[in-house]
Amino acid sequence: MFMGIDYGISDEMGWRPAMEDEHAIYEDGKRFFFSAEIYDGHGGRQPARIAAEMLTPSFLHNWAMEADKPLRMRKGEAEILRDAYLAVDAYLVGRGIRAGTCAVQLYLIGEHFLAANAGDSRVVIGTDEGAVMLTHDHKPDLPKERSRIEALGGSVVLFGVPRVEGVLAISRALGDSCLKPYVSAEPRITEGILGAENDFAVLACDGVWDVLAPGAVLETVRFEGDPHRGAHGVSKKAMDNGSTDNITVIVLDLRKYTSSLENRKMEILKVHDALGSM
């Protein structure tokens, strides 16, 4: 437990022939920083492993460097996180790695948070009203995503589901050198302030969200009351509901962390997306 945050993790290969997911937890007590993240690889596990080892360390390094600059010249945390996404993507592409990975993170910095993603892994957080999804899936048939892909000379082809160039069922990811520039590494980043209402947060790959609604996931976690049992409960429920994908779930118990916050309600301050919000 760190900063009053207990967490539980469940990772299951499911019915797939190999496990291509990776996950990571990073902590920096001096800066009141905590992160949980999942990388859902496709075409191989290598990009997910590299991203899990590289992305947040890159963010933390550059964040520390910004502290030495005059205040008016410093980049904000969201911009630094975007830079980390693009740096990891450039590294993967530069090495000619054809596979790729979705990415999702929840960064807690004091009472502030950043929820970032590229692809269709998600962050959901509990509120008094039930559950709020802090990320949006990047699917190639969304109007803005399709327009961007087609403007670059690419295509969205229905092959079971809409796919970029008939291959990939997501429009943003890290890596996928064979599908550049159509598959973008630009993250969508939600920036906000936590409230005392926030009890649990759940990060999971699409092996969960393809078969379970955010509300059902939070209900399972709250019923268990413990992040370790909650993570395994969500995994089991996803498999019981027909998921055949790799399944990775991280559950954060935020109750101690948020109980003393002055604000009752969570507040979303800004959504950062260089390609336009969905």
Burial of 67 (0-12, 13-18, 19+ CB in 10 A): exposed
Domain residue limits, the chain: 6-272
pLDDT in tens, 72-123: 889 999 999 999 999 999 999 999 999 999 999 999 999 999 999 999 999 9
DSSP string over 8-56: EEEEE-TTSSS--EEEEEEEEGGGTEEEEEEEEEES-SHHHHHHHHHHH
pTM of the model: 0.96
CB 54 within 8 A of CB 27: no
Of 98, 135, 117, the C-alpha closest to 40 is 117
- Residue 33, φ and ψ in degrees, nearest 5: -110, 135
| Upper half-sphere CA count for residue 90 (Cβ side, 13 Å) | 7
Write down how long the chain is. 278
The architecture CATH gives domain 6-272? 4-Layer Sandwich (3.60)
Res. 48: pLDDT tops 60:
yes
pLDDT in tens, 167-204: 999 999 999 999 999 999 999 999 999 999 999 999 99
C-alpha angle 223-195-3 in degrees, rounded to nearest 5: 80
pLDDT in tens, 132-163: 999 999 999 999 999 999 999 999 999 999 99
Distance CA 19, CA 246 (A): 6
Matching residue, tokens 């980049």:
75
